[in-house]
Amino acid sequence: MPGVIIRKNALQIDLRAQGYGKEPLPLSPTPVNIRYAERLRLEILGKIERGTFVLAEYFPESPRVPKAVAESTTNDVITLGNVFTEWLAVKRPELQHSTADQYRQTLDSYHFDAVRQLPADQLTFRELKMLLAGLPENAKTFNNVASVLSMALEYGHLAKMISEPLHLHITMRKNQKPQPDPFTLEQVELLLQRFGSTRARDYYEFAFFSGIRPSEQIALCWPKVDLTTGTVLVDQALTRGKVKGTKTTDVREIELTARARQVLERQRAVTQLAGERVFVGDDGKGFTSTEEPLRRWWKPAMKLSGLRQRDARQTRHTFATVCLMAGITPAWAARQLGHSVEMFYRVYSRWIDKADKGAERRKLDGYISAKPGDMDSKIG
């Protein structure tokens, strides 16, 4: 596609016609990354047209960034928009690129249009509260936006661009997180029969019986698979077209269940010689986002199945609950999923309680129903 320049070890997005330059993108020139660069360029062109593009947010290493920042701070008046831009540029190296993109999209959103040009030190408590009152009522959406604003304002205060610690006056709303809604094994088998291709069926069979995250699954490469030992090394994920570390930045080795291993045995004949990726689409191309298999395969199959509509994240919840109902120790299941044991207990406590199939309750019932004399002897 015109506008994306392919170098030996990197990519560039050509924005010379828009008054910028050949901006560097630190990605290797793989087909997946090239497609990501094409989409990114279209996104940037749209922002340039709307007048909301900030070079430093996309290309912090560009030699043109200092000039762009300097021009935006004429007469030493620092606006809230300047605070947002500087905070994101400082924060970006610490973040996964997908998280940085989410933060940027939040700060570029219409929620801040009314205050972006306001001198940073003129933001008052009252204006902040009015701004927060105008955010979406949904607690999760509110918290997503307000948390980013809070971090940016805290940076502005510590950097002496905002005199008052206004970030301390941002309170998150209580949000009821959606509970796991796993499938039964019978429902899993029914759903797998509704996928329209072998590749789709294998993809989701592996998801159900490995517990791997969708972003980890689309990034899975054959060098990470060891069918001799029946293990897979999970050390990367693919989000927004870019390979990164896993969600928790932890590297883990998962043990393959028999069903998951059978899927990989079938996939060897299809994808191992064709390229690195274990799972590809029906067109033979690797995925650039988790939305692709969701849109192409999951949603149509769910409609055909007649089952209650659920999202594909339930594949992991299904694996976790199946482990518990099979009597697997929570520590092993947590390790497979890449959770801490504490988080695993917090999310799946309801199924942990059921996993003993009533054995603990029967012990208690037996004790309570014992004769008074027997109870006295047990207590004594």
pLDDT at 24 over 70: yes
CATH homologous superfamily of 185-317 equals Intergrase catalytic core (1.10.443.10)
* Residue 114 DSSP code: T
| 139-190 pLDDT, tens digit each | 889 999 999 999 999 999 998 999 899 999 999 988 777 789 999 999 999 9
Rounded CA separation 242/97 (Å): 8
- pLDDT for 355: 65
Rounded CA separation 311/241 (Å): 21
pTM above the 0.85 mark? no
| 55-74 pLDDT, tens digit each | 877 887 777 765 445 454 44
Per-range mean pLDDT, top range of 149-153, 324-328, 356-360? 149-153
DSSP of 262-300, one letter per residue? HHHHHHIIIIITT-SBS---TTSPPPSSTHHHIIIIIHH
Domain boundaries, the chain: 1-53, 60-177, 185-317
CATH homologous superfamily of 60-177 equals Tyrosine recombinase, N-terminal domain (1.10.150.130)
Q: Across the beta sheet with 4-6, what order do the strands follow?
A: 4-6, 11-14, 22-25
- Nearest in space to 305 (alpha carbons), one of 150, 187, 168: 187
Interval 305-326 mean pLDDT: 93
Rounded CA separation 203/297 (Å): 9
State the average pLDDT for the chain: 85
